[in-house]
Chain A
């Protein structure tokens, strides 16, 4: 094993020069240079669509560049497939995992390899994989089936796959997007363990704080071009990186005006509900949101957040407990009644739930008022009214589309979210439930979404913000509830990250108070 670099003699494991990659109508990479030293974590930073993933897909053999040179270990490389790349020691862990849910960890790791041939001597391979896993601190049971694993564990399997294939360059495409804070810490430890062994890592991200925390060097891409190549992370500030990434100054602190909350709008008492599999997902949730207040719900994904949002708007049956909005009981009432009484929902999944992909922008923005005057007229949809309504929204929310008749499947994530926000906000709701409203958006778009939410708050709307982005919750919310396995662990109004983090792992607020009290004595 090669020692980590000590002297000025720097070994470049990967060198990419003048990479040009074009997609129809887009120059995804415009003469991009990139190099990766042995034993470093090199962050590739940029907004969505900046060309980070494209560049790495070229390196991993998924895409072929229009032109440019790639050297791996000093030798020119010309990969036709991911298999060629992995043979040269380059492995990529994608955002969307490529695993077979019904098979075990070992089976997934071995998938596609020539060995074992006919007889699957799984015990032997289980051991082998367990050794590698232990070595790098990748805690996962080799005999477990994929569907039994958490998202974080599944990611470890993906990493194991690459390590087993002998990768010494590991490309991680937005690895933290799916992880809980504690899992992120563990991932970072693993990455450090790997670099200590002389492996090199490309860390693709658009999250500045993570890049600052983990990387040795940073390369910033903006609209397919390098704005800064391989600077030492310790020599640069977060604000500098943000400017390089977006091309303008980004205000980090959202400007939040102090607002005196009014009457209670949403009152949830002892809510019980099941998830799609019939397993209890909400077990006695109680919370409230007042006028002009943003209340956050923090928690690791899959602890009942989506079920909570669905029960509140009437999409999921409430088994026990009740929900009142503005004094009216809306427990198990039809969705339409909720919409009419001023509840709006920004769903977590923009394409699966929030929009109809093959319908036009117009058809998508009138989804909730197509049967209300002036758009709904008698039995008809007044297309003139719908058209002017859609154009107004397109202008005021700056939705970037050629025409309002364009199908929304052709829109970028940020623009799609604007379509949803435009629709939900224009109904002038008194209760707004936003689930992961900025997920997968770039810095500029996130800022826009957050501003719109704050504007709604100033208008006096009650906002329930359900998110896995702790930073976002902290900067936007007046109070934060923490949900764990369908129960509220407690409520924090002073933004104490430690308390929130502990509650996210299942400790109750009172329990934390006690232990802290004990320490103080």
Chain B
């Protein structure tokens, strides 16, 4: 009852700060601007920490900027880092739209990587199969295995109402161990914990592959996964905003009981949404394996699956914004490593997340300054 009333912060200032719940929708520009303000605020806190730690915030930030966007070469590296983030961010976006908390993108990413590697290592396709066929089959297999990994918690949720947060989270650990088994025992090369290097025709094409025709592409590692990510983003955007299925997802996300009453099956949608989410995360694993690592090994993800959660949230569950945010995060991961291997860049990521979530308060409430008169 009393939280609906307005709160007044007591102060000795000549004005008072009035906070009251918003009774109308904020204008369209308000939300993105607020997100930007939250990011700037987070960067300021990061600067403060760097300064306290004895560093020069300006130097650190300009270093990050230079080593992520400073030249075409580093920009290309930023994109390489951003590609898995885009796909995983999209995976989280569709699930979160339905308030289905898929925390298992990391595991689905690993299974996607496994599914892709299998094509080369089992082998499913002969070694000299054409590149286009390899890419096609590996992509399908990666998506299939990612989706399969998501299907388990989806079924548990739909059938037995098992909390998907816990089940998807736990399946992450199993996925990592699943891959480990194959790296250590089955496809281990010469006792190392990694498979053999894939042959060239099982690699995703990179810009540098075309350096002969276009010299400007020399040394650029951006790979075909970017095309996957961009196409996926556009399709997902279309599905979520234009299609009937997207409408169902939004309706369930906002009020499942209303959706049920409108005759929409929630169980069916839990399964379908999780399958798509898992397939996208699996595709991320496939593109990372075939575009960057070129072999199945242990350390293929520095927590992409978890960063995807932050990205989806930061992009306000808008698939097109996911692309943009992923590039920024790619930069932070890449150049952050130049600044410090761990610590500050991770801290900034965390602070960005927290200030973003906190900024929602200003979407729901209106803050105004009122000059003190009678009091």
Binding site for B on A (CB under 8 A): 23-25, 62-63, 94, 96, 98, 313-315, 334-339, 345, 347, 352-359, 363, 366-368, 370-371, 376, 379-381, 383, 402, 405-407, 410
**By the criterion CB–CB under 8 Å, are B242 and A359 in contact?**
no
**By the criterion CB–CB under 8 Å, are A334 and B263 in contact?**
yes
**By the criterion CB–CB under 8 Å, are B263 and A356 in contact?**
no
The 7 lowest CB-CB distance pairs between A and B, nearest first, are A336-B263, A335-B263, A356-B254, A356-B255, A367-B262, A356-B258, A358-B254
Report the Cα distance A98→B245, complex, angstroms.
41
18 A–B pairs (Cβ distance < 8 Å), ordered by A? A25-B23, A62-B5, A63-B5, A98-B1, A334-B265, A336-B264, A338-B263, A352-B255, A352-B257, A356-B254, A358-B254, A359-B250, A367-B258, A367-B262, A380-B244, A381-B246, A407-B25, A410-B23
**By the criterion CB–CB under 8 Å, are B261 and A315 in contact?**
yes
- Apart from A24-B366, A356-B250, A367-B262, 15 more pairs, CB < 8 Å: A334-B263, A335-B261, A335-B263, A353-B255, A353-B261, A354-B258, A355-B258, A356-B254, A358-B254, A359-B250, A359-B254, A363-B247, A368-B263, A370-B244, A402-B24
B258 cross-chain contacts in A, Cβ below 8 A: 353-356, 367
Report the Cα distance A363→B250, complex, angstroms.
9
Pick from B2, B24, B251, B260: contact of A315, CB below 8 A: B260
User: By DSSP majority rule, is chain A's interface helix, strand, loop, or mixed?
Assistant: loop
B118 vs chain A, min Cβ distance (A)? 33
Report the Cα distance A344→B259, complex, angstroms.
14
**By the criterion CB–CB under 8 Å, are A363 and B24 in contact?**
no
Report the Cα distance A383→B246, complex, angstroms.
13
Q: Does B340 contact A (CB under 8 A)?
A: no
A345 cross-chain contacts in B, Cβ below 8 A: 261
Q: Does B338 contact A (CB under 8 A)?
A: no
B243 cross-chain contacts in A, Cβ below 8 A: 379-381
Interface residues of B in 115-152 (CB under 8 A from A): none
B1-22 interface code vs A (CB 8 A; 1 in, 0 out): 1100110000000000000110
B261 cross-chain contacts in A, Cβ below 8 A: 313, 315, 335, 345, 347, 353-354
Closest A residue to B23 by CB, please name it.
A24
Report the Cα distance A376→B366, complex, angstroms.
37
Report the Cα distance A357→B255, complex, angstroms.
8
B3 vs chain A, min Cβ distance (A)? 11
A464 vs chain B, min Cβ distance (A)? 16
B255 cross-chain contacts in A, Cβ below 8 A: 352-353, 355-357
B2 cross-chain contacts in A, Cβ below 8 A: 62
Report the Cα distance A80→B322, complex, angstroms.
47
A330 vs chain B, min Cβ distance (A)? 12
B254 vs chain A, min Cβ distance (A)? 4
Report the Cα distance A337→B262, complex, angstroms.
11
Closest B residue to A403 by CB, please name it.
B25
Report the Cα distance A520→B155, complex, angstroms.
66
Closest A residue to B22 by CB, please name it.
A24
B5 cross-chain contacts in A, Cβ below 8 A: 62-63
A379 cross-chain contacts in B, Cβ below 8 A: 243-245
**By the criterion CB–CB under 8 Å, are B251 and A359 in contact?**
yes
Closest B residue to A366 by CB, please name it.
B247
